[in-house]
Structure 1
Amino acid sequence: MTPAQLRAFAATVRLGSVKAAAADLEVSEAAVSMHIAHLRKELGDRLFTRTANGLAFTPGGLRLASRAAEMLGLQDRTILEVREAGSGRRMLRIAGSALFAEHAAPGLIELFAGRADDLDVELSVHEPQDFAPLLLTRAVDVAIGPRPAVVDDALSCTPFLNYQVIAVVGRDHPLAAGGVTAAELRDQTWLLGPSAVGRTGMVPAVLRRLGVPEHNQRIFQSHAAALDEAKHGKGVALAVAFAVAKDLAAKDLCRLAGPALPLRGSWNLLALKDRDVSPVAAELRRFVTTPRAIQAMLRGAGVTAGRFRPAVHVTLWS
């Protein structure tokens, strides 16, 4: 079995068709079919058959699907470790939810990376439902965000920070005067960061609970940009409570008390279990629960260039 054959089969399993796998791998359908044919011949198993409802995998095909992800992940990890050894540097790849990436990641990364001169940290933003596949295929070393409804047996989950999501408006906004009803909130213009785009997480949950229509939602490239608009009385913004404490104290923002608010959540660090976790990921898992790390996240310290590569959010309207 070659890596190319395993990648072709894994993509076919993940996407449900040879055509989709070929597009994802940027090769021809004939190339994917050839790789799968070689696997079938070598393993003596059909692996899957085509049906009216898609692909039906044999027991052997399902077993290979699991092993292919493991072997490809191990290959990628080995390549990374060899490159790190040759360059004398280590890399920690973090997948984070949008809320964590903007509000807590900078302080954590700055403090953690500053403890070692040979460590680079790369942060990318992903939907929480993608965390498990990213970790199991070793595309990232750790994932940080809300706790999944079900934690894969191969993963550990370490809770480390509770937070609240609150609704705020500028001090001159009409709703700043007092309590509000669900109907009043529903009819407002909502100024939202990139976490509102996803299907899961705290912000989409609030919007669903209140029944905020899509035409009342304005999405910005960052939560900070949405809050800046809220300070100018342009609408209602959702914010992590600790991130706007100074604005609330200065009365630049006013907190709204209404139904479905505040919403409480927690950030959790997901990683492979001890047998498979990388040393630097295990180190972060221990570090993230310490008082110094918690204070750094709440304080939101900046990061130095080269330590932190933030994601770029692009939102398109049609």
Structure 2
Amino acid sequence: MTPTQLRAFAAVVRLGSVKAAAADLSVSEAAVSMHIAHLRKELGDRLFTRTGAGIAFTPGGLRLASRAAEMLGLQDRTILEVSQAGSGRRLLRVAASSLFAEHAAPGLIELFASRADDLDVELSVHSPQRFGTLLLERAVDVALGPRPATADEGLSRTPFLNYEMVAVVGPHHPLAAQRASLTASELRQQTWLLGPSAAGRIGLVPTVLHQLQVDEEHQRIFQSHAAALEEAKRGKGVALALSFAITQDLADGDLTRLAGPSLPAKGAWSVLALSHGAPPAAAELIRFVTTPRAIQAMLRGAGVTAGRFRPAIHVTLWS
């Protein structure tokens, strides 16, 4: 069983056909079929059959599918670690939800990375729904953000920060002078200015929108939560914001809080990692993230921009 054979099988699993797998791997369909045939012969299992509805996997094929992703991820990780060992450096790959990545991750990672001269940190943004898969496939070492709806028993979860989400408008918005609590009907009729976390199904932002039954036609989703807040300051609509990130804006009168059902909303962020086999740097971050220094770094407001990162930290945005 070779890595090339496993990559061919994993591509078939991921894409649902030999043709699509061949295109993805930039090889011929015959090459993919040959690799699959070798696996079938070595394992004594057909792995999958073609049906009118697509590909149907055997029980053995399903088991290999989960193992293949894990084995390939471990191989990539090993190659990386061996390469780094020669240069005396370590790499910690961190996945984060969009809300955490924008507001809390910069300060946390900047402080954490500054504690070790031999550590590089790579931050990538993902939906919390993918946290479990990314960790089990060893595509990342640790994940930060809201708790996924379901968590694999092979993962450990450590809550580390409670936060509050509030609804705000600019000083010239018609609702800015509203002192009484708004009704759900009044809120759902507003134009909602939202960051990318609104596009997901897990997290406090989609939860609030669901509870208020805000239709998609009333939602405007921006590339960042900061951009949504800037529009709110101009009186263009209602925005959802982390209370610790807008303290100064509220004090300066640039934003005004609204009261209503489901508002303010309270949530919690957690750190997820493999229960066994996580790299030492991941264990270090899990211990560090609950410390007072780490909490203060995350609560500094909107954090620091990507341009303020130390050179050892790399940011990758995944769509």
Q: TM-score, normalised by structure 1?
A: 0.92
Task: Name the SS of the counterpart of 2:13 in structure 1.
Answer: helix
Query: What's the C-alpha RMSD, in Å, of the aligned pairs?
Result: 1.8
Question: Could you tell me whether the CA contact under 8 Å between 2:135 and 2:141 is conserved in 1?
Answer: yes
Matched residues in 1 for 2:93 and 2:284: separation?
Answer: 13
Cα deviation code 1:129-165 (max 9, x no counterpart): 1111111111111111111222212111111011121
| C-alpha spacing 1:91/1:31, structure 2 compared with 1 (3 Å) | same
- How far did 1:311 drift? 4.1
Instruction: Give the structure 2 partner of residue 111 of structure 1.
Output: 111
Paired residue secondary structure (2:299): helix
In 2, Cα distance between the equivalents of 1:174 and 1:207? 21
Alpha-carbon separation, structure 1, partners of 2:117 and 2:47: 47
Which residue in 2 is equivalent to 1:308? 313
8 Å Cα contact 2:149-2:202 kept in structure 1: no
Counterparts of 2:26 and 2:205 in 1: how far apart (Å)? 35
Residue 142 of structure 2: aligned partner = 142
- Structure 2 distance, partners of 1:113, 1:158, is 20
Higher mean C-alpha deviation, range 43-52 or range 237-246: 43-52
State the distance in 1 between where 2:202 and 2:115 align: 34
* Pairing 1:269–2:274 present: no
Deviations 1:234-273 (A, max 9, x none): 1111111111122122221111111222222111111111
**SS at 2:70 equivalent:** helix
Distance 2:139 2:224 in 1: 25
Letter of the structure 1 residue corresponding to residue 81 of structure 2 = E
Letter of the 1:285 partner, please give it. I
Which residue pairs with 2:173 in the alignment? 173
**Cα separation, 2, equivalents of 1:19 and 1:245:** 54
CA contact (8 A) 1:221 1:313 kept: no
Letter matched to residue 217 of structure 1: Q
- Letter paired with 2:183: T
User: Counterpart of 2:34 in 1: which secondary structure?
Assistant: helix
Match of 1:294 in 2: 295
Tell me the distance in 1 between the aligned counterparts of 2:235 and 2:44. Answer: 67
Contact 2:110 2:310 (C-alpha < 8 Å) held by counterparts: no
Kept after mapping to 2: 8 A contact 1:110/1:307: no
1:273-310 CA deviation, whole Å, 9 max, x = no partner? Answer: 1x301010111011111111111101144343424333
| Residues in 2 aligned to 1:23 and 1:123: alpha-carbon distance in whole angstroms | 29
- Code of the residue aligned with 1:282 in structure 2: it is A
With over 3 angstroms needed to count, the CA separation of the structure-2 counterparts of 1:45 and 1:192, relative to structure 1, is same
How do 1:163-242 residues align onto structure 2 when only pairs under 5 Å count?
A: 163-178=163-178, 179-242=181-244
What is the CA distance between 1:313 and its match in structure 2?
7.6
Three-state SS of the structure 1 residue aligned to 2:313 is coil
Q: Which residue of 2 aligns with 1:86?
A: 86
Provide structure 2 residue ranges, at least 5 long, that are not aligned to the other structure. none
For the residue of structure 1 that corresponds to 2:139, the secondary structure is coil
Matched AA of 1:68 = A
For the Cα contact (< 8 Å) 2:106–2:309, is it kept in 1?
Answer: no
* 1:59 counterpart residue number: 59
Counterpart residue number, 1:50: 50
Q: Distance in 1 between matches of 2:233 and 2:151?
A: 39
Alignment partner, residue 32 of structure 2 = 32
Contact 1:194 1:313 in 2 (8 A): no
What is the DSSP-based 3-state SS (H/G/I as helix, E as strand, rest coil) of the residue aligned with 1:14?
Answer: helix
Shift of 1:57: 2.1
Structure 1 distance, partners of 2:69, 2:229, is 41
Q: Matched residue pairs, number?
A: 313
CA distance in 2, matches of 1:215, 1:311: 30
1: CA distance between counterparts of 2:247 and 2:192?
Answer: 20
- Output the amino acid matched with 1:91: L
2:156 aligned with 1:156: yes
Distance across 1 between alignment mates of 2:195 and 2:153:
33
Contact residue 95 and residue 126 of structure 1 kept, 8 A: yes
Number of the residue aligned with 2:95 = 95
Distance in 2 separating the partners of 1:244 and 1:307: 29
Percent identity between matched residues is 74
